[in-house]
Amino acid sequence: MTVSAERAEYYDRLKPHSLAPLWEILAKLLTTKPTTRSLPCLWRYEDSRPLLIESGKLITAEEAERRVLVLENPGLAGEGSTTEALYAGLQMILPGEVAGAHRHTASAFRFIIEGDQAYTAVDGEKAYMSAGDLVLTPNWAWHDHGHDGKQPMIWLDGLDIPLVKYFGTVFTEHYSEKQFPANRPSGSSYGTFGHNLRPVDDSFDEDYSPIFHYPYPESRKALDAMAGSRDPDPKRGWAMEYIDPTSGGPIMPTLSAFLSLLPSGFKGKTRQTTEAQIFSCAEGSGRTIIEQENGDELVFEWQARDQFVIPIWYPHRHETNEDSVLFSFSDGGVQKLLGLYREAP
């Protein structure tokens, strides 16, 4: 729309007073459908892994603090983000290394992709990790990593850094020693809270899960049990959410995590939602078909250990070549908390 000389002169006089005419930008602020700068993207592990291994020769875990390659969205270049609200990266720790203790306002987790005998210690409890495990480090929890094994350990980091950064509240604190002191046996959190039981004298009242280690063998058993008792969801297969057992809600207020079993030959129906989703293939192979605004279809052929992102409001569907398990995380929980979540029929 052409702006008249009179209006342009008026707008110029507004600027020194830090004022702006809403009517000129209203259509951009209140769009008729959800919008995103993020783009669908696939990161093949066969491409990412050699580059991550190479980083181990260039920088130590101590120098880097966390040796991570960010899964940076091509639509958000330079921002260190995977979607507008979510961050994901591939982290590696080598045998004998320790990634020092710190804590931060961002909530985080790691989904293990490769290796064993490395651990994450959270507030003094060690969790030795294996492929497929989910390990949480909630907001302001002390955590460090170490590796007692013989091969590189690689995992997917998921954080809400972009969301917390939006509020201007991202900050971190480093512990005075390299590792936070051990103060309870390994497995205590899962042993206490992971069996549909809760101590009667428990005073835990945080807004995140008291379980910080979800072992994959147990999660996989739950998927198999579900598959044996009902038909798969036509869009998501046999899908389960990791929950906070004290509330039944998401593992953390800003991060929701899921595990889905898709049977061989699955041809899912289209799903369209306001939640941004980041996927990691734990088992199997298949493809995700993403519908674009111009009517074209973008096809991601994925296999075990690959990662991909589906930004908000992109219609998509999954198909499989064999029985497959997809881990995913999203900002859906916080959207529901704020009354923002929508899903197309």
Handedness of CA 177, 183, 188, 192 (dihedral sign): negative
148-201 pLDDT, tens digit per residue, is 999 999 999 999 999 999 999 999 999 999 999 998 889 899 999 998 888 898
How many residues comprise the chain?
A: 345
Tokens of 177: 């020693």
Model pLDDT, residue 201: 87
Task: Check if the beta carbon of residue 102 is closer than 8 Å to that of residue 159.
Answer: no
The SS3 of residue 114 is strand
Please tell me the predicted confidence (pLDDT) of residue 205: 85
Single-letter code of the amino acid located at 22: L
Alpha helices in the chain (DSSP H): 5-14, 26-29, 45-58, 61-64, 161-166, 188-193, 216-227, 332-337
- pLDDT recorded at residue 2: 84
CA 163 to mean position of chain CA atoms: 12
Walk along the chain (345 residues) and give the pLDDT tens digit of each residue: 788 999 999 999 999 999 999 999 999 999 999 999 999 999 999 999 999 999 999 999 889 999 999 999 999 999 999 999 999 999 999 999 999 999 999 999 999 999 999 999 999 999 999 999 999 999 999 999 999 999 999 999 999 999 999 999 999 999 999 999 998 889 899 999 998 888 898 888 888 999 999 999 999 999 999 999 999 999 999 999 999 999 999 999 999 999 999 999 999 999 999 999 999 999 999 999 999 989 999 999 999 999 999 999 999 999 999 999 999 999 999 999 999 999 999
User: Sign of the CA dihedral 173, 178, 181, 186?
Assistant: positive
The CA distance from 251 to 244, in Å, is: 5
Q: Give the pLDDT score at 318.
A: 98
Which CATH code is given to the segment(s) 35-337? 2.60.120.10
DSSP string, 273-290: BSS-EEEEEEE-EEEEEE
pLDDT at position 18 is 98
Q: Are 320 and 265 in contact (CB under 8 A)?
A: yes
* The pLDDT value given to residue 196: 87
Cross-sheet strand order for the sheet of 68-70? 68-70, 87-93, 153-159, 108-114, 134-137, 213-214
